[in-house]
A and B are shown apart, each in its own frame.
Chain A
Amino acid sequence: MALDGMTPRDESDLAEAIRSTEGGLSVSGGGTRGGRGTGANLSVRAMRGVRLYEPGAMTLVAAAGTPLSEIETVLASEGQRLAFEPMDHRVLLGTQGDPTLGGVYSTNTSGPRRIQAGAMRDFALGVRFVDGMGNIVQNGGRVMKNVTGYDLVKMLAGSRGTLGVVTEVALKVQPAPETLCTLSISVADPVEGVRALSAALGSPFDVTGAAFANGLAHVRVEGFENSVAYRAGQLKDRLSGFGEITLSSDPSLWADIRDLRMFSNVDGDVWKISVKPSDGPVVMARLPGDAVLDWGGGLVWACVPTGTDVATALQGLAGHATCVRGNGGAMGEQDSAVRSLIDGLKAKFDPRGILNPGVTS
């Protein structure tokens, strides 16, 4: 037991802790996301370690408390990586700790490559968790194609620990590419920027990143060297009408976009807004402050003056928004029928309401 709460050593320890608790539990992984719900802290960080890794099957199974850095090191030793490129929140939030597998799974955290490879949840093959009654549950498995029973692996990804405490996740991983090339196109405005990104994403050239920041539209291709050279050349020809293009093989540009380094020393609320890509420039035009577009324009990262009424600004647009730095909360998408289904699931999986009280599922 740590001084500030519970740190179960394994799954049965955790199940026992949940069964015997009477008050609420605030579940955490590496704690890099800052804020937490009310209740005693329950950290999964003592449950850690890679339990299985088969490079030839592109699968890795690890305990929920395993730091992502540890997983990435193991993968790199075999020339592989996590495809979904999760954001490291420490850069933006100034927090401490190590991001964990359980944390990125429970928040379905995905970075720039989401637009091509898929979200974190698309790479989660199996999960083990302990529900709010202390039952140990397994779903999915460690194989890439599995339709045996309901897909609770997807259902729990992004549920922020409100339906169960995740103890283990099985992942599909990806070969790391030999090289990358980023085309940076100097465009007239965000509308032109998103047009350039759409042209790139609608091409056959397998674009793995499409972002807009500071007047530049960035397009990334990755793979074997001659393939990258070929595709970068083709894209350069196609996109030359949008503005002057420079090429770079520096990966740090994408880490900076992923982690929002440009907002780390700027005051204000930071919102994550997901819309149809062509609506990205519309959102930018309606909000004060600065913004970066990712996912071809569909993900707007907006840094706005503290307390800005983002909800009103976004009226009439389909999508959703979450305040990741500041006290803006979240908005969009859940009508009352959807809300009552989610409340129904919460009542089934955590009837006492002890898991992450105060956190919206």
Chain B
Amino acid sequence: MEMPQPDSTVLAKKDRIVSHLLRILPADAVISDPAETRAYECDALTAYRCPPLAAVLPSSTQEVSAILKLCHAEGVPVVPRGSGTSLAGGALPTADSVILGVARMNGVLETDYDNRFIRVQTGRTNLSVTGAVEEEDFFYAPDPSSQLACAIAGNIAMNSGGAHCLKYGVTTNNLMGATVVLMDGTVIELGGAHLDAPGVDLLGVICGSEGQLGVVTEATLRILHKPEGALPMLVGFDSNATAGACVADIIKAGVLPVAIEFMDRPILQIAENFAKAGYPDCEALLVIEVEGSDVEIADQLARITAIAQTHNPVEIRQAGSPSESAAIWLGRKSAFGAVGQVADYMCLDGTIPVSELPKVLDGIQALSEKYGLKVGNVFHAGDGNMHPLIMFDANKPGDLELCEAMGADILRLCVEVGGCLTGEHGVGIEKRDLMVDQYTPADLEAQMAVKDVFDPAWLLNPAKVFPLAVTASRRALAIAAQ
């Protein structure tokens, strides 16, 4: 993965930058020893590593502002970091950058059940937002699978989704307000406990901008009362196409499950060997979860069962007890870990129109044969967010590159059928160079114009989202201006 040449003038003044940082932060919040900065050399995309110049761990919005003001004045790139769980390299440093980690800013600032919001510092983990309100039976809906570790800051940067967004939406649909620090240190407040400010929706464009427009330090999030109950069922099918058709029929019938998860045969085999969930022997399996009271759950499951029966199912299984519910989810929840036991793998994240599911699964199979790499599919079928897992051997020279090439072809296929490169992981560095496959030069120019306004010197989270060739002239101009 090509990264820009580090700025030698920044590297040369490391000592001065660190001493300035120590003037605005306590000593234990500034990390500059190369032995310690290595802890920040990568995120969850571990194939790419680069220790930063330094890392800082501020405790307040004011400290974040002071850090950014300093880095702006010195022309130092800044890479914001939540918990470092990005699968796309969204928090990968450059050698001349300062990592700005918000992990210490994890407090709850305000909880308001009458008005149904919580205000938190963004270093707080996703799951602990729900943890802060569950004594009143409330929860925060977006639930990325890394929710135990991932921070709200990263959720906002990547507009994270999760298994339940078919019903509850993704981060942007649950984010009501934010305190944002711009690269020059300016602090702005957007939205809050009230809804829908008129005019240009800055909050809407900051959410999902991968930390390139500002550092979000505080967030107002919508909280909801938990449903009375939830219950999963599973349905096995003799082909991927039939399973896909069943998903479309469920949605057309007006039933809106909270989750519809899809697994194909390769994944089912690996997950079954690993977790022994007792799944039926079939080509494709759906795990469907519905919510509500006992009566409502029974009614929805009956409707889904009636639809599934018109698709010649291999097996339909409803959970009758909590342990049976857990068993239905077991294989799905352990799928990624199970694949990790048998191979190194790369997890893709393209989204497709649900109607194109059979075609895309066939296309992925053909690419698997062409490249000679095994692939399994486990994904959120209700919203078309695919997660093909390409299996390879990291110790075999050339296998990672082969896997990346195959991944790129799969994502191009997603775009070709009317979908997109990434549904919830973000572009980061991983899919940066594929942006030209989804967007025209004018489309990218419009997005970069937004970056020009928020961060004219192009210092925030460098080398992510846009292909380097596309940003080259802007970066050169910014450096010249320094």
Enumerate chain A interface residues (CB-CB to B < 8 A).
54-59, 78-79, 107-108, 110, 114, 118-119, 121-122, 131, 135-139, 141-160, 162-163, 175-178, 195, 198, 201-204, 224, 226-227, 230, 234, 274-279, 295-296, 298-299, 318-320, 322, 330, 332-335, 337-338, 341-342, 344-345, 348-349, 360-361
A143-B423 in contact given A114-B196, A175-B256, A276-B115 (Cβ < 8 Å): yes
5 residue pairs bridging A and B, Cβ less than 8 Å apart: A151-B207, A155-B450, A198-B116, A335-B189, A338-B190
Asked if A57 and B384 sit within 8 Å, CB to CB, the answer is: yes
| A202 → chain B closest CB, angstroms | 5
Q: Tell me whether A337 and B435 are in contact in the complex, defined as CB-CB below 8 angstroms, given that A135-B446, A155-B450, A204-B227 are known contacts.
A: no
B453 engages A344 (CB within 8 Å): yes
Q: Is the CB of B465 within 8 A of A298?
A: no
- Closest Cβ of chain A to B269, distance in Å, is 27
Knowing A143-B423, A341-B454, A349-B449 are in contact, say whether A155-B296 is a contact too (CB < 8 A): no
* CB nearest to A330 among chain B residues: B198
Find chain B residues with CB under 8 A from A360 CB. 199
Q: Which of B165, B188, B352 has the most CB of A within 10 A?
A: B188
Query: Does any Cβ of A come within 8 Å of B425's Cβ?
Result: yes
B447 touches A150 (CB 8 A): yes
A298 adjacent to B194 (CB under 8 Å): yes
B424 touches A145 (CB 8 A): yes
Q: Which 3 A/B pairs are nearest by Cβ-Cβ distance?
A: A154-B204, A56-B248, A175-B254
- Measured between alpha carbons, how far is A345 from B449 in the docked complex, in Å? 8
When the two chains form the complex, which single residue of B114, B199, B251, B443 contacts A58, counting CB atoms closer than 8 Å? B251
Q: A202–B202 contact, CB under 8 A?
A: no
- Kindly supply a per-residue 1/0 record for chain B positions 80-124, scoring 1 wherever the CB is within 8 Å of any chain A CB and 0 otherwise: 000000000000000000000000000000001111100000000
Residue B438 CB within 8 A of the other chain: yes
Determine, out of B21-29, B38-46, B168-176, B330-338, the stretch whose residues face the partner at the interface.
B168-176
The answer to whether B170 touches A145, judged by C-beta atoms less than 8 angstroms apart, is yes
Q: Is the CB of B254 within 8 A of A177?
A: yes
Contacts of B371 in A (CB 8 A): none
| A137 B423 Cβ-Cβ under 8 A | no
A209 to chain B, nearest CB (A): 15
Residue B418 CB within 8 A of the other chain = yes
Contacts of A198 in B (CB 8 A): 114-116
Q: Which of B159, B188, B292, B355 contacts A57 (CB 8 A)?
A: B355
Interface residues in B401-448 by Cβ distance below 8 A to A read 418-427, 431, 435, 438-440, 442-447
Residues of B within 8 A of A114 (CB): 195-196
Once the chains are docked, how many angstroms separate the CA of A334 from the CA of B380?
38
C-alpha spacing A100/B256, complex, angstroms: 28
**CA separation between A122 and B175, bound complex, in Å?**
11
- For A296, the chain B residues whose CB sits under 8 A away are 116
Q: Is B52 an interface residue (CB 8 A)?
A: no
Asked if B315 is at the interface (CB within 8 A of a chain A CB), the reply is no
B384 touches A226 (CB 8 A): no
Nearest chain B CB to A356's CB is how many angstroms away? 12
- Residues of B whose CB lies within 8 Å of any CB of A are 112-116, 137-138, 158-159, 161, 165-166, 169-170, 172-173, 182, 186-190, 192-205, 207-209, 213, 225-228, 247-249, 251-256, 292-293, 295-296, 299-300, 303, 351-355, 380, 383-385, 418-427, 431, 435, 438-440, 442-447, 449-454, 465
Once A138-B440, A318-B193, A348-B449 are accepted as A-B contacts, the answer to whether A150 and B201 lie under 8 Å apart by CB is no
Task: State the CA gap A354–B436 with chains docked (Å).
Answer: 30
A55→B252 contact, CB < 8 A: yes
**How far, in whole Å, are A344 and B354 apart by their CA atoms in the complex?**
38
Q: Are B384 and A203 touching (Cβ within 8 A)?
A: no
Distance of A148 Cα from B467 Cα, bound (Å) = 13
Could you tell me the distance between the alpha carbons of A121 and B295 in the complex, rounded to whole angstroms?
33
Q: How far is the CA of A333 from the CA of B200 in the complex (A)?
A: 12
Could you list 5 further interchain pairs (A-B, Cβ under 8 angstroms) beyond the known A149-B438, A348-B449? A145-B170, A145-B424, A147-B427, A226-B296, A230-B293
Residue with the greatest number of chain A CB neighbours at <10 A, chosen from B247, B249, B254, B465: B254
Q: Which residue of B lies closest to A122 (CB)?
A: B173
Q: Which of A139, A146, A153, A299 contacts B351 (CB 8 A)?
A: A146
Distance to closest chain B CB from A15 (angstroms): 10
Contacts of B169 in A (CB 8 A): 118, 122
Residue of A nearest to B421 (CB): A148
Q: Given the complex of chains A and B, what is the CA–CA distance between A201 and B224 in angstroms?
A: 8
Q: Measured between alpha carbons, how far is A29 from B254 in the docked complex, in Å?
A: 31
Please indicate the chain A residues that have their CB under 8 angstroms from the CB of B199 in the complex. 158-160, 334, 342, 360-361
B440 CB contacts on chain A under 8 angstroms: 138
Measured between beta carbons, the chain A residues less than 8 angstroms from B423 are: 143, 145-147
Contact A144 to B198, CB < 8 A, known contacts A56-B354, A137-B442, A151-B172? no
Complex formed: what's the CA distance from A131 to B447 in Å? Answer: 12
Q: Which residues of A contact B450 (CB under 8 A)?
A: 150, 152, 155, 345, 348
Cβ-defined contact, A146 with B353, below 8 A: no
Query: Is A155 in contact with B115, judged by CB distance below 8 angstroms?
Result: no
B453 cross-chain contacts in A, Cβ below 8 A: 341, 344-345, 348
Q: Across the interface, do B197 and A145 meet the contact criterion of CB distance under 8 Å?
A: no
Known: A108-B196, A122-B173. A157 touches B201 (CB 8 A): yes
Instruction: Indicate if the CB atoms of B353 and A54 lie closer than 8 Å.
Output: yes
Min CB distance A127 to B, Å, is 11
Set of chain B residues within 8 Å of A153, measured between Cβ atoms? 204
Docked Cα-Cα span, A322 to B195, in Å, equals 13
Instruction: Report how far A138 CA is from B441 CA in the complex, Å.
Output: 10
CA distance A348 to B166 in the complex (A): 35
A51 CB to nearest chain B CB (Å): 12
> Are B355 and A56 in contact, with the CB atoms below 8 A?
yes
Given A144-B351, A176-B254, decide whether A136 and B442 contact each other with a Cβ distance below 8 A: yes
A274 near B207: Cβ-Cβ < 8 Å: no
Cα distance, A144 to B422, chains bound together (Å): 11
Contact of B198 among A158, A227, A338 (CB under 8 A): A158
**Chain A residue with Cβ nearest B247:** A56
Would you give the shortest CB distance from B95 to chain A, in whole angstroms? 26
Q: How far is the CA of A78 from the CA of B351 in the complex (A)?
A: 24
**Nearest Cβ distance between residue B45 and chain A, in whole angstroms?**
15
Q: Is A178 a contact of B254 with CB atoms below 8 Å?
A: yes
- B201 near A155: Cβ-Cβ < 8 Å: yes
Do A138 and B439 have beta carbons less than 8 Å apart? yes
The reply to whether B446 and A349 contact each other, CB–CB distance below 8 Å, is yes
Whole-angstrom distance between the alpha carbons of A226 and B202 in the complex?
A: 42
**Bound: A156/B450 CA distance, A:** 12
Report whether B254 and A142 are in contact in the complex, using a CB–CB cutoff of 8 Å: no
Cα distance A175–B351 when bound, in Å?
Answer: 21
